[in-house]
Amino acid sequence: MAVLPVVPDDVHGIRRVVLFGPPGIGKTTAAGVLARRLGLPVLRLAPGPQDAQVPYTGLLELALALPSLPTARELAAALDEAAVKAAAPDGTGSALRLRRLTAAVLRDAPPVTLVVDNAQWLDGASAAVLRWALRLAPDLPVIAAECTWRPGSGGHWSGEDAYAVRIPSLAEHQVAALLAPYRPTRREVTWLHARSGGNPALALALSQLCGRTSGQSIVQCPEDDPLLPPRARELVSEWLDTVTDDVQELLTLAALDDRPDRELLTRLAGPAAEHLLAQAEAAGLLDPAPGDGQVRFTASAIGTELTTRIPATARRLLHARLAEASHDRVRRDRHTALAADTTDPRTTRHTAGDAARAAGHARLRGEHPLAAELSLLAAQRTPREDTGLLSERALTAVRDATHCGDLPRGRAAARLILEHDDSPAQRVGALLALLDASGQRLHSADELFAGAIYEAAGRPDLTAQVLLRQAIWANISEGAPEQAAALAARAADLARTADDTTTAALALTMQARVQRILGHPDADTTLEHALSLPRTALVPANATPEHLAARHALFDDRPADARTTLLPLLVQAQRTGDAEAAVDILRGLAEAELRAGRCAKALDYARRAQTLSDKAGLPPGPACYTSALVEGTASRTDIALAHARRGIDASRQEGNRIFLSRNLFALGHLLLTAGRPKDALEPLQEVRALETLQQVRDPSVLRWHADLAEALLAAGRPDEAEDLLTDTHRTATDLGRDSVLPALERTRALLDAARGHYDTAAQRLTNAAEHFRHLPLERGRTLLALSHTERRGRRRANARTAARNAADLFTTHQAHPWADAAARALHHLQPHPTEDGTRPRLTTTEERCARLAAAGASNRDIAATLTVSVKTVEATLTRVYRKLDLHSRVQLAHAIPPALE
């Protein structure tokens, strides 16, 4: 499906339009769209680069396009004469004649729209004549498409009042539609969108990096190749040629810095920097000045072309200039290393050490992309004869690349080890580090695992490490938990054989993790074994058995135990600078505090996790999931929904089924609690499908079942809801997951109420609320459901009591969205006072009947006193109860003075 540029609707009716934007942005297509709107035949001129310096070639093309017009033939002849007389002193008279003839051609032409494509190459002589002639043909529609003209740069030759339209770049979803025939993944679309800046021609040219054809899937990572394809280079070069050499030089300096800002460029170029940057922004090469002072290319391919087109010697000199001007120590060290002469061994050794130290500083600051670059520089500059140090630095580079998903640098660092180190431990470590860095984006995992197994032959300790990674890969990337459990068990056995208790503990932890997902009864026993093993090496805090024990405590509704376990792990992660582990532990703490009802603390942990995740460039899915749950309970639903949707998009793009399920659950849960159960149905059904695909049997791991049943009930599908509740209850009971049951009972009560069984529903909810005594927010949610049920059963006083208790709980624990929901329910349950604020007025008969009943008289006694039938008394008291929102004589006795005057 073609992706058309956006042409504003307000262009309709305007006779002179200039479409401008960089090469490849779609000006020609936009001109065609606009011309079709006008409904006239098109007279198209398309000058080329070779025409720009030849006078009157544009007019000649115009004349030749209308051969049937006498005036056009006369114009062509006059142009021939003008060419002969070009050097004659009477050229003025010739120019006046050309103007008159051009005006005549435009006047005599049939109704057309004049479209001048690539108008930046229209020669100056033709533009001057057309400027004059078009004033005499004001009704002739003219559309000019060009790269170099800018609004405010002076009147256009098509008319002083020409309407300027900048053709916008494509959004990411439009790039996806453009590349649909090539079936790109979401991640590849994101990469191509950033690389091209939404320029459609550039996006298509960059897609050639993969060498794919229509209908063929992209299977390689194009970012491994720093060079642009020929067509992409041509487009970017043409784009750069729209600005001066001075602008290009400044942009080259910006491209050589990993995080350029205006202050740095002003130090390099002086006061002229702002003017040069403004030109680059006007040409669309840079994003408009952001508030943080950063300089960002609209398309990252621009920076790539600028840096690769200059020779190595010139590049080193520019890095030297940047080192002198840099105001950041780490970036100064980076430029110094890149400016060094790599042919001098002494200089290379020195710069390698400086780069390694700078990488350490960047790592401590959480700038993992910069740390990955510097670590790789350190490894590349390390002398090859110093094999041990080279391997150490290369492994560090791979690990730094892991933090920011920089697969090309991870691959380059791993290749250094494989090419220069024969040690099995180092070679296996390189392959495993590369697998860790690649995540789910690696398409050659089988080959890497096979290579690692080969290198580890005869070494049980190394083989155990490979099998452990295979187990992780099978669970996360392959969705095969049974296989993952078997691999982890084999890894644990081999590690114990080699007396590697650290790897054994990690393997048992992985086995226990998968066993819990599968509902295996030995999960707790396996985890206890992992916890009992000593660990001789420091491992990531989020890979320890203690971290899994904390997760299991959360699954079992033991938030205090989870919190106690997680706090020391957070200290460990922060001391080691492990951002990914710190994010996971902060997330766990946020969930623990939320379950315990400490919403303010949960918000703090969740926001710290989100900030650290974004700063470290980690995949957004995990932090977004926790942020969605916590923000939706403790802060604002709209913010929470935005987090959930971001997490869904990111997890789909990365192929991460685990956090796709979790973020979809968060979205469905939020929509359900916001009173939009029918909207919640679709994401919750997708959660069920994903959980089935991943063989998740334990319902305590992700508690979507009760929410989906509630959404099914709201959608008018009670039988499906009952089947889901029954199946989940049976599974939870079989596995001993009692923590799941109260929420299931809460939803089953709603099912009872929908069938009119209000007493049964109320009893279920009362019992469930008792089970939630140690989880105040779940108790509050259950009391709120009880309030709604009692209201439907016309027991408004009971409903009011339940709503008030729920509101008190939510307010005390600072669960603001839930407190608002309870307050709304309470408001709807308040008795409606009369205009003077007193209780509703009763009739005389109702008043007498109510006072007698309040005094303790029976219905028969009241009937005898009032000389009416017993049925009349019953009907009268029913009206009294309804007016006063009461449900018993006890309540009536408190509301009505019993004494009769």
Each residue's pLDDT tens digit, 297-321 = 999 999 999 999 999 899 999 999 9
- Looking up tokens 């938030």 gives 559
Could you tell me the two tokens for 113?
Answer: 């729209």
Measured from the Cβ of residue 834, the count of other Cβ atoms closer than 10 Å reads: 9
Confidence at residue 220, expressed as pLDDT on a 0 to 100 scale: 36
Distance, CA of 746 to CA of 410 (rounded, Å): 50
CA trace torsion 365, 368, 373, 374 (10° rounding): 30
Confidence at residue 180, expressed as pLDDT on a 0 to 100 scale: 85
Distance, CA of 341 to CA of 351 (rounded, Å): 10
Residue from 840, 831, 775 nearest 800 by CA: 831
Distance, CA of 67 to CA of 76 (rounded, Å): 9
Confidence at residue 11, expressed as pLDDT on a 0 to 100 scale: 65
Q: Is the dihedral of CA 686, 687, 688, 694 positive or negative?
A: positive
Confidence at residue 211, expressed as pLDDT on a 0 to 100 scale: 42
5-15 burial, b if ≥16 CB within 10 A, otherwise e? Answer: bebeeebeebb
Distance, CA of 468 to CA of 461 (rounded, Å): 11
Inter-axis angle of helices 124-134 and 91-108, to 10 degrees? 60
Q: Are 410 and 437 in contact (CB under 8 A)?
A: yes
Could you tell me the two tokens for 301?
Answer: 């391919």
CA distances (Å), 588 to each of 429, 512, 540, 569, 678, in order? 29, 18, 15, 11, 30
The DSSP letter of residue 621 is H
Amino acid at 291: G
Beta bridge partners of 286: 297
* Tally of helices (H runs) and strands (E runs) in the chain: 44, 5
Distance spanning both ends of the chain, measured CA to CA: 86
Q: Are 592 and 632 in contact (CB under 8 A)?
A: no
Confidence at residue 709, expressed as pLDDT on a 0 to 100 scale: 96
Q: Are 417 and 394 in contact (CB under 8 A)?
A: yes
Question: Residues, the chain, total?
Answer: 901
Distance, CA of 851 to CA of 843 (rounded, Å): 12
Beta-carbon contacts of 313 under 8 Å, excluding residues fewer than 6 positions away, are: none
Residue 333: exposure state from Cβ atoms within 10 A (0-12, 13-18, ≥19) = buried
Distance, CA of 453 to CA of 92 (rounded, Å): 85
The number of angstroms, rounded, from the C-alpha of 893 to the middle of its chain's C-alpha atoms is: 61
Q: Is the dihedral of CA 470, 472, 478, 480 positive or negative?
A: positive
Confidence at residue 2, expressed as pLDDT on a 0 to 100 scale: 52
Distance, CA of 821 to CA of 588 (rounded, Å): 27
Measured from the Cβ of residue 259, the count of other Cβ atoms closer than 10 Å reads: 14
Distance, CA of 737 to CA of 556 (rounded, Å): 7
Measured from the Cβ of residue 669, the count of other Cβ atoms closer than 10 Å reads: 27
Distance, CA of 675 to CA of 694 (rounded, Å): 30
**Own/partner long-range contacts of 253-257 (Cβ < 8 Å, ≥24 apart):** 253/318, 253/321, 253/322, 254/295, 254/297, 254/303, 255/297, 255/302, 255/303, 255/304, 255/306, 255/307, 256/307, 256/315, 256/318, 256/319, 256/322, 256/335, 256/338, 257/322, 257/326, 257/331, 257/335
Measured from the Cβ of residue 80, the count of other Cβ atoms closer than 10 Å reads: 11
Distance, CA of 376 to CA of 358 (rounded, Å): 12
Beta bridge partners of 261: 294
Confidence at residue 744, expressed as pLDDT on a 0 to 100 scale: 96
The number of angstroms, rounded, from the C-alpha of 786 to the middle of its chain's C-alpha atoms is: 37
Phi then psi for 406, rounded to 5 degrees?
A: -90, 80
Beta bridge partners of 164: 18
- Looking up tokens 């608002």 gives 820
Confidence at residue 749, expressed as pLDDT on a 0 to 100 scale: 95
Give the chain's residues under pLDDT 50. Answer: 1, 87-92, 211-224, 440-442, 835, 899-901
**Own/partner long-range contacts of 284-291 (Cβ < 8 Å, ≥24 apart):** 284/21, 284/22, 284/25, 284/166, 284/239, 285/22, 285/239, 285/240, 285/243, 285/251, 286/251, 289/262
Measured from the Cβ of residue 181, the count of other Cβ atoms closer than 10 Å reads: 12
Distance, CA of 463 to CA of 411 (rounded, Å): 21
CA distances (Å), 611 to each of 616, 617, 662, 766, in order? 9, 10, 19, 40
Q: Are 651 and 625 in contact (CB under 8 A)?
A: no
Residue 329: exposure state from Cβ atoms within 10 A (0-12, 13-18, ≥19) = exposed
Q: Are 744 and 782 in contact (CB under 8 A)?
A: no
The DSSP letter of residue 715 is T
